[in-house]
Each structure stands twice: as C-alpha cells, then as structure tokens.
Amino acid sequence: MEFVRRIVEHPVLEYEKGKKIRFFFEDREIEAFEGETIAAALEAAGVRWYRETAKYGRKRGIFCAIGKCSSCLVVADNRVVKACQTLVKEGMIVKRLRGKPQIA
C-alpha cells in the first residue's frame, strides 16, 4: 500500500477534518476533506508538481508549507493563490501556474 502524505497537524493553520469532497487538478478528479488546504489534498493525492517557474519553466512544488515562500502557487478558480494557505472547496478547479500570473 502506498504511503499517504496527509498533513494532519500544521504549525500555522488549524486543521479540522470535515466531510469528503472532490475537486479538480489539471482535469484530474481528486478527493479531499473539507477544512484542509489545497496543498494538503494534493500531497495526499501524490501530486508534487504545482507550477513552472517563469524564466526557465522549472518544476516547483511545496517548499515552506507555511505561506512564506510562494513556491506552491497554483491557479484556483482563476485566482493565483498559495496552495499551502488556501482551503480546498467542493468542485474547485485548480491548475498549474505556468510562467508569471496574468491579471488583465
């Protein structure tokens, strides 16, 4: 059985495991629990690659996990957010951030 990396305790976020929900990452359906962050759900689902860097297109995933470093930026429902600080929602559409965010 594969080892599941699910964050259950966090130094800056309070985590209360809610009911099971579903969201989408790059068109893949992923199960999550209400109350956990996008990053917690992605890590548990085995996703390690969240975005590509602007200059060289290098792969980036979770790094500091406390909202400091911006390594885990993703596009969630058309907004650029830190996956480690943003709570996942039922039906949320999450995409990899490729390059610099476009806002207009």
Partner 1 sequence: MKNYDVVIIGGGVIGCCVAYNLSKMGLKNVLVIEKDYLSSGSTGRCGGGIRQQWGTEANCRLAMESVKIFEQLEEELGEDIEWHQGGYLLLAFTEEEEEQFKKNVALQQRVGVPVRLVTSQEAKEIVPALNVEGVRVASYCPTDGHANPSKVTIAYAKNAKKNGVDFLIGREVVDGIVDDEGGNKVVRGVVLDNGEKIYADKVLNAAGAFSREVGMMFGVEIPTTSYRHQILVTEPLERFFDPLIISFYHHVYFRQEKAGGVVMGYGDPKELPSTKVNSTFDFAKTMAHQILDLMPVLRDVRVVRQWAGSYNMSPDAQPILGTVDGVEGYYQAVGFSGHGFMLAPAVGRAMAEMMLGKDTFVDVSYLSVNRFKGGVDTSEVAVV
Instruction: Tell the residue number behind the tokens 């297109």, with chain if given.
Output: 57
Considering only the stretches 1-9, 17-25, 37-45, 93-101, report the one whose residues sit in contact with partner 1 under the rule CB under 8 A: 93-101
Binding track over 39-78 against partner 1, x by CB under 8 A: ---------------x---------------x--------
| Nearest distance in Å: CB 71, partner 1 | 13
Measured in degrees and rounded to the nearest 5, phi and psi for residue 40 equal -60, -45
Instruction: Tell the residue number behind the tokens 């305790």, with chain if given.
Output: 9
Among residues 98, 1, 94, the alpha carbon closest in space to that of 40 is found at: 94
Among residues 44, 47, 38, 48, the alpha carbon closest in space to that of 93 is found at: 38
Size of the site for partner 1 (CB under 8 A): 10
Interface ranges with partner 1 (CB under 8 A): 54, 70, 79-80, 99-104
